[in-house]
Structure 1
């Protein structure tokens, strides 16, 4: 059985939900908006976890994780072959770098939500933070 989320987790989820909702809103003028709006809206919905049920949240998290991985690799290939900029570039003036960071943040967030909502009791759920 899953434990009750802490206040810090709830606050972080709310902040990430706002970030992903804003990211979806600014994608409307992007030429490939149809790829990015579903990614950011599903990530926003997963982070608003108190509104949706656990099974729906896991499905949305899996969807966001898979789409995020696909778009991350798409952007990495595009960056390597067409732009030629470095892999570790953090120049946010480039569209490719912004898309790479956005999809990477979604993948990490969805992975963490999938881990926290897993019903199996694993070692990650029993971490003692020494408090």
Structure 2
């Protein structure tokens, strides 16, 4: 019974990583008409590639290059998220998702949390039950949120044009 549960857990972990790789790749693609598209495409492409690698081979998180790149990316995302949060604290006018910086902050938080989860999985590539529950919730959250926001046209009404014209 345990080996089957282990394979199920490994499959779930890989599936969550593949789902997040798809999310990060889609997030990179929709940046195409953003004023600072190149920057945001890189911010999302790095975790897309790294998460895809984890989905294909969970043991990659033990690789020195993978660990270094993820740690550096996490560090920069955290610093940037802190600066955006401070800016929002001082200037927020409406709901966080109606503010460009709020959406950027949410993206950076998702990247940071997911990459940290992957980074910590190097000791146990499949993770424990708690890690799998958290991974599943995180993997489903951005995609469900994206669908909700896409369907809810009223929510997008105050967004800048470049946010309305993609997908």
TM-score (norm 1): 0.73
Q: C-alpha offsets along residues 45-102 of structure 1, whole Å, 9 cap, x if unaligned?
A: 1111237952332122112211211221121122123x3347xx44x23212211110
Unaligned runs of 5+ residues in structure 2 are 1-5, 131-167
How far has the Cα of 1:118 moved from its partner?
Answer: 4.1
Q: Which residue of 2 aligns with 1:84?
A: 92
Q: Are 1:94 and 2:111 matched, yes or no?
A: no
Q: Which residue of 1 aligns with 2:45?
A: 41
SS in 1 for 2:26: helix
SS in 1 for 2:30: helix
User: Greater share of helix residues, 1 or 2?
Assistant: 2
TM-score (norm 2): 0.59
Unaligned runs of 5+ residues in structure 1 are 120-124
Backbone CA RMSD of aligned residues? 2.7
**Equivalent runs, 1:49-88 vs 2, <5 Å:** 49=53, 50=56, 53=60, 54-81=63-90, 83-85=91-93
Query: After TM superposition, where is structure 1 displaced by more than 6 Å over at least 4 residues in a row?
Result: none
Instruction: Report the Cα distance in structure 2 between the residues aligned to 1:34 and 1:70, rounded to whole angstroms.
Output: 19
